[in-house]
Amino acid sequence: MTDRFWIKLHHSKTGETILAVCDEELLGKRLKLNEQFSIEVSQSFYGGVLIARDDLDKYLKQATIVNMLGEKAISYAVRKGFIVEKAVIKVGGIPHIQLYL
C-alpha cells in the first residue's frame, strides 16, 4: 500500500496559496511540545482531501507556501528534492518543514 497524506489548500488575502500536508495517521493527533504546551494536527488546517503519495506533486506545484508534517511526507519531499534534510525541524518529535516557493 502506498503512503497517503491529508492535504488542504488555503488561499491567503495576500495572494499566497498555502498547502498543508500531513501523514495520514497524524490527523487529529495532539503533539506535545513540552509540559505546558501541545498542538493539534487539526482537521481545519490539514484535513481537506486524502491523497496517494503519487498525487502530491501536482499540489506542490500549485503552492507558494508549503507546511508539511510527518515522517513520510518529509521523506518524500527530501527524495524529490523539494527540501534538504538539514532544514527539517521536529515538532513534538515529528518532522516538520515550512517552505516558501
What is the tens place of the pLDDT at every residue in 30-83?
A: 999 989 999 999 999 999 999 999 999 999 999 999 999 999 999 999 999 988
* Angle at alpha carbon of residue 20, lines to 60 and 64, rounded to 5°: 45
pLDDT at position 101, please? Answer: 84
Residue 1 has pLDDT above 80, yes or no: no
Q: Alpha helices, DSSP H only, in the chain?
A: 43-46, 56-60, 71-79
Domains of the chain and any CATH numbers? 4-100 (3.30.1860.10)
Q: How far apart are alpha carbons 39 and 92 in whole angstroms?
A: 8
Other CB atoms within 10 A of residue 55 CB: 14
Task: Please give the grid coordinates belonging to residue 45.
Answer: 488546517
